[in-house]
Structure 1
Amino acid sequence: MHDHAPAPGGIRGAGNRRLLAISLGITVTSMIVQVIGAILSGSLALLADAAHMFTDSSALVIALIASAVAARPADDRRTFGYQRAEVFGALINAIILVVLMVVVAVQGIQRLITPGEVEVQGPLMLVVAVIGMVANGVSMWLLSAAQKTSINVRGAYLEVMGDLIGSVLVIVAAIVIVATGWMPADAIASLLIAVMILPRAISLLREVFSVLAESAPKGMAVSDIRTHLKMYEGVVDVHDVHVWQLTRGAPVFTAHVAVDPTVFAQGRSTELLQELQSCLADHFDVEHSTFQLEPAGQDECEDTHA
């Protein structure tokens, strides 16, 4: 006996896609300002931050495309729908982050080796960096709620967070240049931005691979779920438990539930099934669950004949 409940919305809501589109517009505008500022001021740190914003723009475009694909309904071939499109979008974002880290690091080291080649205009660098910081702060605020329920939006959110920190580093480097004239501060800021990207990329890749490997969601203990389900009257045992995620915020649960034969004799199987599903939804935030109710001892017979 089994039943299914609808999966949560996550990024698939039109509201989240609208926020992504607004954030994309802010990021692209700020990126253009930073590119112009980097050219005029000669700042590598600004250029690195602009490159990072370009990556954010790409990430947001990927997120929007993935969200549109993920919103498509399930069919006979893809019975879970297209929610995994979000995960593949996040994977692309993480790869872009790694490539960006290498490029910025190489350019920063070259600037340190030849520190006198470029004269950085500190005041202009400072003004442009402040504009970038404000833009990133607004984008983070827009995405802060949606990133809690979508792995793909979280990828975009983490990139914008990195940009915000990068803008702060550029501001500090600009202040140092304005106050002391020490030009290596610009190259050091660009290297710090590159170093900052690495743990973010690793974190996102780890989460993507966890979903693709169909691991249990972080913080969800199968033993606790099993113990909770066995507390219901008539439940003798819970076995063959599987918990995984289609994407962030969309956990799936299946299990065999051995019940006392009197449950079937009294016609209580439907009532018990509804109680078990409500338990998962209310206590563990699992909206999509499948249970197979079977008489106690049936699994032992199956093992004997296997």
Structure 2
Amino acid sequence: MHAHAETHLDQSIAGRFKFAIFLTAATLIAEVIGGLWTNSLALLSDAAHVFLDLFALLLSLGAIKLSSYPATDTRTFGWHRMEVFASFINGSTVFIIALVICYEAMGRIQHPEEVKSFPMMLIAAVGLAMNVFAAGALHSHSHDDLNVHSAFLHMIGDAAASVGVIAGGIVMYFTDWYLLDAIISVGIGFVIFWGSWRVVRDSLHILLEGVPRGLEVNRVAAAIREVDGVEEVHHLNIWTICSHINALSGHVVVPASYRGDHSGLLRKIEERLFELFHISHTTLQVESTSCTTDAGHPKQFRHRPRFSSHGHAHAHRHGHSCSGDHHHHDHHHDH
């Protein structure tokens, strides 16, 4: 029943994303053509901002689709990471576009060019209407899904940029102060810089296996120690697989006198991690105090020889092993 409801929710969200993508793509085309026709760099700058957000919408829709693809023997995490690679490429590309916009704007500040301000206003108004409709389509799910909430905020940002372009068009229509077009372009360019930098920064952080933003290793470790039966936790690794899957691995130490069920203990830890930190992919190993000699010390990785052709025989290991070790691997899928 839960799986059916989740599938229905994903289909509903995907449908709204497709509608928003259609409207945003139409806005992008209209603003690119309109910007070239009216000679408005501000309109072209807004189009670049729309392009960044269109790609974000496509990524969010792709994340929903990719989450349904099963893992394979060669891709044990499936295709989830493709979302992160695409984000990095998109952010880098749009950052370069913003550089071009600002460079062109600097030239226009020195030598302002005439802009067809009235059609520029009309096209920006059409873009504003499209953004409002797209935001409305996403709003009903924006409180239930982080991807939808992020996309909704993107649409609001696009709408705000369109309002700025319209206001600039009105001023230019009545005053012929065409320098304002370049000034608005610089403003939107800096907004794009900030947005694309955040995309590049966050995707690079994920690709480097960084701890998910907002999580602190010490807090997670403390939450694990609070579970009855846990004496210590070490060799803790926390990372992000993609935007909606956080993973954790670690060694849990129990007293030598512990006689409880290891599986039950690990299940309690997993549920606690999911409820408190939304960590949905956990791999935990139980150790007894009697076989743990370096709990709390920095982990040491053993690497295979760099030029060996038999790497499989020298795989690195994460910690100790003893006859009493117990491994547990669990997934919570919450797309």
TM-score when normalising by structure 2? 0.75
Shift of 1:200: 1.0
Map 1:11-160 to 2 at 5 A. Answer: 13-61=10-58, 64-65=61-62, 67-115=64-112, 117-118=113-114, 120-143=115-138, 145=142, 149-150=146-147, 154=150, 160=155
Map 1:215-226 to 2 at 5 A. Answer: 215-226=210-221
Corresponding letter in the other structure for 1:288:
H
Encode CA deviations 1:239-281: one digit per residue, 9 max, x unaligned: 11111110122111111111123334xx522221221112112
Secondary structure at 2:235 match in 1: strand
CA RMSD of aligned residues (A): 3.2
Encode CA deviations 1:69-121: one digit per residue, 9 max, x unaligned: 44311112211211111111111220121121022112222222222x43x23
1:257 aligned residue (221, 227, 252): 252
Aligned length: 291
Encode CA deviations 1:201-244: one digit per residue, 9 max, x unaligned: 11111111111111111221221222222223322111111111
Deviates more, 1:157-166 or 1:232-241: 157-166
Higher normalized helix content (fraction of residues): 1
Map 1:176-255 to 2 at 5 A. Answer: 176-255=171-250
Q: Which residue is equivalent to 1:275? A: 268
Corresponding letter in the other structure for 1:284:
F
In 2, Cα distance between equivalents of 1:163 and 1:185: 19
Shift of 1:40: 4.4
RCO (CA 8 Å, sep 6+): is it higher in 1 or 2?
1
Structure 1 unaligned segments of length 5 or more: list them.
Answer: 1-5
Q: Does 1:285 align with 2:256?
A: no
Cα separation, partners in 2 of 1:272 and 1:67, compared to 1, 3 Å: closer
Shift of 1:53: 3.0
Corresponding letter in the other structure for 2:68:
A
In 2, Cα distance between equivalents of 1:282 and 1:54: 36
Secondary structure at 1:300 match in 2: coil
Asked whether the 8 Å contact 1:28–1:57 carries over to 2, the reply is yes
Encode CA deviations 1:116-169: one digit per residue, 9 max, x unaligned: x43x2322222221221222233345456389634x995x66764553332122
In 2, Cα distance between equivalents of 1:34 and 1:280: 46
In 1, Cα distance between equivalents of 2:278 and 2:59: 28
TM-score when normalising by structure 1? 0.82
Asked whether the 8 Å contact 1:263–1:269 carries over to 2, the reply is no
Shift of 1:18: 2.7
Asked whether the 8 Å contact 1:256–1:293 carries over to 2, the reply is yes
In 1, Cα distance between equivalents of 2:181 and 2:294: 72
Shift of 1:35: 3.5
Cα separation, partners in 2 of 1:206 and 1:51, compared to 1, 3 Å: closer
Secondary structure at 1:232 match in 2: coil
Cα separation, partners in 2 of 1:147 and 1:72, compared to 1, 3 Å: same
In 2, Cα distance between equivalents of 1:110 and 1:208: 33
Cα separation, partners in 2 of 1:215 and 1:67, compared to 1, 3 Å: same
Asked whether the 8 Å contact 1:257–1:294 carries over to 2, the reply is yes
